[in-house]
Structure 1
Amino acid sequence: MTAREASLAGALLDHRYQVTSLLARGGMSAVYRGVDTRLDRPVAIKVMDPHYAADPSWAERFEREARAAARLHHPNVVAVHDQGVDYSGDNAHAFLVMELVDGGTLRDLLEQRGKLDPALALSVTEQVLAALSVAHQADLVHRDIKPENVLIGRAAGPAEGTGVVKVADFGLVRALASANTTSSSVILGTVAYLSPEQVETGAATERSDVYSVGLLLYEMLTGAPAFSGDTALSVAYQHVNTDVPAPSASNPLVPAALDDLVRRATSRQVRERPADATALLAELRQVRDALGLPQVPVPALPPPDVGDDHTVPAMSPITRPVNHTLHMPEGIAEERPRRRAPRFALFTAALLALAGLVAGGFWLYQAANQVAVPQVNGMTRDRAKQALAQAELRPHVVRKHHNTVDTGTAIRTDPAAGTEVSTGGEVTLVMSLGRPTVPDIDPGNSRADAIAAIKQAGLTPKHDPGLDEYRESIPKGAVIGVAPGPGTPVKIGATVSYALSKGPPPTPVPTVAGKSRSAAFSILRQAGFVPYDAGEVFDADVPAGYVVRTEPAAGTTLAGTGVRVGVVVSNAVEVPDVSYRSLGAAQRILADAGLTAQVVQGGAGFVSRVYQQNPGGGERVEPGSVVQLWLFP
């Protein structure tokens, strides 16, 4: 079905499927909302361009691939209900009947958010891999994993309100490959997500899908494809000759473990990748557990801009081969060297390949009708997308900050307005996010996290010691705030100062002199100090075991928590009163108190008694002191 062919809305296909309204249209197919009149259920109907149905070999392949896809039963796979060819009317129409998905695509989610946080990116990837695992176990390779083929429907039941990921278009790429050409020089698939072996030979295995999923994860983590270029050939060349960069190079918040996961999945050496989706899924779950990332729900998406329709097609419409097919003359996709070639040699090879392309008269695209990119600067997103669609171009929306262009307004297109491009080609539509705003950094975050968040917002972080403060509940060195405040619009690259905690404020050592040891320890602990025994001293004014002083002294201001404070207690001995005691009894009582008795007078008689002592009873003396006794007779 061409872009200009009349809609089939109102038609009844195969005397069963009522076509109600157009959902999406591409150069090679259109997707309609429909009703299965036999089962009275809503469905999505993909109708292929009429010229395909006229090719018997293609129709046979289409039926075979549809049957294979229909055998896949999984919550993350778009269900295929039926296929057929309708011969009513002037043209035969091959069609595929599928589940009608309520929601949007991963492309829509990426356009909304730019990039996804690691936990959400892994949740989406996990469901994609779950779908591919079922397919790989059934010996079915997808061949065209891309954001447009990853649908996000609305979950039902207990999970209502969240999204569910569904993979679409199983087997259609291989069916299309059988139409019009059997040449090995024709590669079908979306160039941005092709594996190196698909570029070189056109062959695809389970590891080819693994490579594409790795690129999908890279784009979710960074907000941009791993490879880009002015032509499809330049992108394909990078797949073959360039390693996929680490996501953290574009997004410093990506953990190293996710860099490694993407690196393994996108290795240019086929055997170095996980064997299939099941193997990569196991690795993903191990990495998520090791990082301690939660298994977050995928957000449900609002309806796309398709009039009053609240669904997206279960499978994306297929555009003309100019968008999805890279025609490579033999020799362009050079064999990967077993050892690293000098850069000059690679550069020379690329120039020779391009020269051969021109000299041989090969074309990169089929039916490449040229159209000028329209001027959309200053338009809203919907108006700009409509203008590009009317020019038969496919908008790919990216969002960037801008100091002067308001939020939600088109900044430019890439290629620029007026540039001649192929009809049906992709044009990057750059929409403004307005001026960047200072990120909201929760107090207590680490300095490194604050710096990364500020840089992520396109701003310049700077520590201002003059803003640092003592904070009771925030550890020393952690962030307490930013200036300007969170949410403040600033120019791109503007400096954002951050302040750090000095830890808890300094605390004076409390006065515990005259307290018992146990009471003093309790008071010091309550003040945040760690008390310890610092010895004993004599103080006639303080009873034994009671505090004489602290080290440092009471009132000294100490910063931080867990500071040790010594407690010095009195060892004074209270002299017992031995009046009227016999000499022997008096000596025993004083000895028990650690004192020494000294007779000054008397004590010779059997009935001698103490009538005077010095020091007197109740006085405090140092341990081992002498107590003088006077006895009579």
Structure 2
Amino acid sequence: MNLCLACGRVFDDGVSRCPTDGDELLPYEPSRPAGDVVEGGYRIVRLVGVGQCGEVFECRALSTDQRVVLRLMAPELTGNRITTEFLLRHMMQLREFEHPAVVRVRDVALHEGRLALVREWVEGERLLDLLLREGALTVSHSLDVAIQIAKGLQAAHAVELLHLQLRPSNVFLEVGQGSVLEQARLVDFGIGPQRVVDGRDIFGTIRTLSPEQIEGWDPTPRSDIYSLGLLIHRMITGRQPFAGTGDDVVRQALEAPIPPLVTPSGRPAPADLDELVRAMAEKRPDARPRDMTEVLGRLQAIQQAIEDDLPFEQAFREELPASSRSATYRELQTVILRRSSIVPPPGPPGSVPPPPPRPQELFTPQGAERKRRESLPPGTTAEAPPPPDLPRREAQTVMFLPRTGEAGMRLASAREEARAVE
């Protein structure tokens, strides 16, 4: 078995380089073999990843035969009694919490002196893997993910639960249900690798922690607001806000302002979004938004403004430089529905008002096919080109905005009609 230190994924012995980031793989032997039974009644099926906090296994619950994920914490995380008791209390509280944007914790136990966390299995991929593969997300896609995360954190903060470890590796994206086509879900509340900064033990990845966490002060809900601001910046720009060695990152996190919010093609993000992200990433907690409810409201207002104002030809994908990779299916299929044009001003008094503009036609598969057939020269065959051979997940992850209200219902109806035609 071989391990990629960059993304934490494991591969069979025949694979020498990580297919996601190209890094050379290193031999790795899991601490628990397949078939071993862990405290609480969970049989290990296979190792699925290794992080700085420990190993992640696919398991089966002996009582129900359900597929679950077991995270076996690194021994150093439970070497200190105070730290172990804190993590246990935090995990026990999290076990009682449920929200669509949070992966449910099923069980917490101690196995041979190591903390074992059992959570439900998620059929999806990590946001980190998506960013490693695609570089950055469109502004609209980033907003959609950020809003779902903010809703989960808003509910968690209401019951005095803090995440404190918000980063791309702790966000999963899976196929949603109903009108939600993609659902972001948070994992690993409060779980982070151990670091030493100025002689103090810090738990978490330095480049995603708030200044107060790095300095050893008590975290608050505004600490999660700070980390969410950095995550939005990472999704849109494709880069870490603070880069360099450990000491450089600490200095920037404590002193340097966050870089401007600019897409990989050099296009600035909407001014309101840039202003919000800068406010969320303020060094002083009292200078950030008051709470996650305020952040959620501002994100939703920005999303609505983009839906209203974004030119239709820019709604499909982010235009990357010519030297960049070709567009992926996800980008090409990201369709944003605009409201109809503004009615032109009336003419002179007494004149007949001009007719209202024709409503903009929804972009649907059958509408696109009809236009293609109409544009063919006479006598040309109307046979449609074969569909691309796409991975299952990419084919299912198609974002349409808005997803609720009248436009959302019209969109759902159009999709059902398209399936009937096919």
* Structure with more of its chain in strand, by fraction: 1
C-alpha distance in 1 between matches for 2:77 and 2:234: 33
Q: Secondary structure at the match of 1:291?
A: helix
Residue 85 (structure 1) aligns with: 110
CA RMSD in angstroms, aligned pairs only? 3.2
Whether the 8 Å contact between 1:141 and 1:206 is mirrored in structure 2 is: yes
Residue 154 (structure 1) aligns with: 175
User: In structure 2, which of residues 201, 224, 248 is the aligned counterpart of residue 234 of structure 1?
Assistant: 248
Say whether 1:103 aligns with 2:124.
yes
User: In structure 2, which of residues 50, 75, 79 is the aligned counterpart of residue 25 of structure 1?
Assistant: 50
Residue 44 (structure 1) aligns with: 69
Say whether 1:244 aligns with 2:258.
yes
User: In structure 2, which of residues 144, 155, 160 is the aligned counterpart of residue 139 of structure 1?
Assistant: 160
Q: Secondary structure at the match of 2:278?
A: helix
Residue range with higher mean Cα deviation, 117-126 or 46-55 = 46-55
Q: Are the structure 2 counterparts of residues 200 and 458 from structure 1 closer, same or farther at C-alpha, using a change threshold of 3 Å?
A: farther
Q: Secondary structure at the match of 1:30?
A: strand
Q: Secondary structure at the match of 1:201?
A: coil
Where in structure 2 are the equivalents of 1:66-215 lying within 5 Å? 66-86=91-111, 91-156=112-177, 158=178, 162-173=181-192, 185-215=200-230
The aligned amino acid for 1:17 is: Y
Q: Are the structure 2 counterparts of residues 16 and 183 from structure 1 closer, same or farther at C-alpha, using a change threshold of 3 Å?
A: farther
Whether the 8 Å contact between 1:188 and 1:202 is mirrored in structure 2 is: no
Q: Are the structure 2 counterparts of residues 264 and 50 from structure 1 closer, same or farther at C-alpha, using a change threshold of 3 Å?
A: closer
C-alpha distance in 2 between matches for 1:30 and 1:123: 30
The aligned amino acid for 1:163 is: E
Q: Are the structure 2 counterparts of residues 204 and 75 from structure 1 closer, same or farther at C-alpha, using a change threshold of 3 Å?
A: same
Where in structure 2 are the equivalents of 1:54-73 lying within 5 Å? 55-73=80-98
Whether the 8 Å contact between 2:197 and 2:214 is mirrored in structure 1 is: no
Listed one character per residue, the Cα deviations across residues 493-538 of structure 1 (whole Å, up to 9, x for unaligned) are xxxxxxxxxxxxxxxxxxxxxxxxxxxxxxxxxxxxxxxxxxxxxx
The aligned amino acid for 1:105 is: R
Listed one character per residue, the Cα deviations across residues 290-325 of structure 1 (whole Å, up to 9, x for unaligned) are 33369xxxxxxxxxxxxxxxxxxxxxxxxxxxxxxx
By how many angstroms is 1:52 displaced?
4.9
Say whether 1:292 aligns with 2:307.
yes
Question: In percent, how many aligned pairs have the same letter?
Answer: 29
Q: Secondary structure at the match of 1:172?
A: coil
C-alpha distance in 2 between matches for 1:228 and 1:140: 29
C-alpha distance in 2 between matches for 1:30 and 1:166: 20
C-alpha distance in 1 between matches for 2:196 and 2:226: 26
By how many angstroms is 1:154 displaced?
2.9
C-alpha distance in 2 between matches for 1:186 and 1:102: 34
Where in structure 2 are the equivalents of 1:519-534 lying within 5 Å? none
Residue 599 (structure 1) aligns with: none
Whether the 8 Å contact between 1:206 and 1:275 is mirrored in structure 2 is: no
Structure 1 unaligned blocks of 5 or more: 295-441, 460-486, 488-633
C-alpha distance in 1 between matches for 2:40 and 2:296: 42
By how many angstroms is 1:73 displaced?
0.5
By how many angstroms is 1:228 displaced?
0.9
TM-score (norm 1): 0.43
Q: Are the structure 2 counterparts of residues 100 and 85 from structure 1 closer, same or farther at C-alpha, using a change threshold of 3 Å?
A: same
Q: Are the structure 2 counterparts of residues 128 and 287 from structure 1 closer, same or farther at C-alpha, using a change threshold of 3 Å?
A: same
C-alpha distance in 2 between matches for 1:287 and 1:20: 44
Listed one character per residue, the Cα deviations across residues 6-59 of structure 1 (whole Å, up to 9, x for unaligned) are 333211122511111111123541111111111221110111234555654443
Whether the 8 Å contact between 1:46 and 1:95 is mirrored in structure 2 is: yes
User: In structure 2, which of residues 311, 317, 321 is the aligned counterpart of residue 457 of structure 1?
Assistant: 321
Q: Are the structure 2 counterparts of residues 182 and 115 from structure 1 closer, same or farther at C-alpha, using a change threshold of 3 Å?
A: closer
C-alpha distance in 1 between matches for 2:261 and 2:308: 17
Listed one character per residue, the Cα deviations across residues 336-356 of structure 1 (whole Å, up to 9, x for unaligned) are xxxxxxxxxxxxxxxxxxxxx
Q: Are the structure 2 counterparts of residues 118 and 293 from structure 1 closer, same or farther at C-alpha, using a change threshold of 3 Å?
A: farther
Residue 372 (structure 1) aligns with: none
Q: Secondary structure at the match of 1:85?
A: strand
Whether the 8 Å contact between 2:165 and 2:190 is mirrored in structure 1 is: no
Whether the 8 Å contact between 2:95 and 2:104 is mirrored in structure 1 is: yes
By how many angstroms is 1:280 displaced?
0.7
By how many angstroms is 1:196 displaced?
2.0
Q: Are the structure 2 counterparts of residues 73 and 293 from structure 1 closer, same or farther at C-alpha, using a change threshold of 3 Å?
A: farther
Q: Secondary structure at the match of 2:262?
A: helix
Whether the 8 Å contact between 2:53 and 2:191 is mirrored in structure 1 is: no
C-alpha distance in 2 between matches for 1:97 and 1:453: 38
By how many angstroms is 1:257 displaced?
1.7
Say whether 1:8 aligns with 2:10.
no
C-alpha distance in 2 between matches for 1:65 and 1:281: 25
C-alpha distance in 1 between matches for 2:197 and 2:263: 40
Listed one character per residue, the Cα deviations across residues 584-629 of structure 1 (whole Å, up to 9, x for unaligned) are xxxxxxxxxxxxxxxxxxxxxxxxxxxxxxxxxxxxxxxxxxxxxx
Whether the 8 Å contact between 1:248 and 1:256 is mirrored in structure 2 is: no
Listed one character per residue, the Cα deviations across residues 332-390 of structure 1 (whole Å, up to 9, x for unaligned) are xxxxxxxxxxxxxxxxxxxxxxxxxxxxxxxxxxxxxxxxxxxxxxxxxxxxxxxxxxx
Larger Rg: 1
What is the aligned length?
Answer: 296
Q: Are the structure 2 counterparts of residues 36 and 457 from structure 1 closer, same or farther at C-alpha, using a change threshold of 3 Å?
A: same
TM-score (norm 2): 0.63
By how many angstroms is 1:83 displaced?
0.8
Residue 413 (structure 2) aligns with: none
Listed one character per residue, the Cα deviations across residues 81-110 of structure 1 (whole Å, up to 9, x for unaligned) are 011123xxxx44421110111111111121
Listed one character per residue, the Cα deviations across residues 190-216 of structure 1 (whole Å, up to 9, x for unaligned) are 122122222233432111111111111
The aligned amino acid for 2:191 is: L
C-alpha distance in 1 between matches for 2:197 and 2:279: 32
The aligned amino acid for 1:235 is: V
Q: Secondary structure at the match of 2:251?
A: helix
Residue 279 (structure 1) aligns with: 294
Larger RCO, structure (CA 8 Å, separation 6 or more): 2
Q: Are the structure 2 counterparts of residues 184 and 138 from structure 1 closer, same or farther at C-alpha, using a change threshold of 3 Å?
A: farther
Whether the 8 Å contact between 2:191 and 2:204 is mirrored in structure 1 is: no
Q: Are the structure 2 counterparts of residues 292 and 61 from structure 1 closer, same or farther at C-alpha, using a change threshold of 3 Å?
A: same
Listed one character per residue, the Cα deviations across residues 204-256 of structure 1 (whole Å, up to 9, x for unaligned) are 21111111111111111111111211x11101111111111221386315221
Whether the 8 Å contact between 1:53 and 1:85 is mirrored in structure 2 is: no
The aligned amino acid for 2:96 is: R
C-alpha distance in 2 between matches for 1:264 and 1:57: 34
Moved over 6 A (4+): 180-184
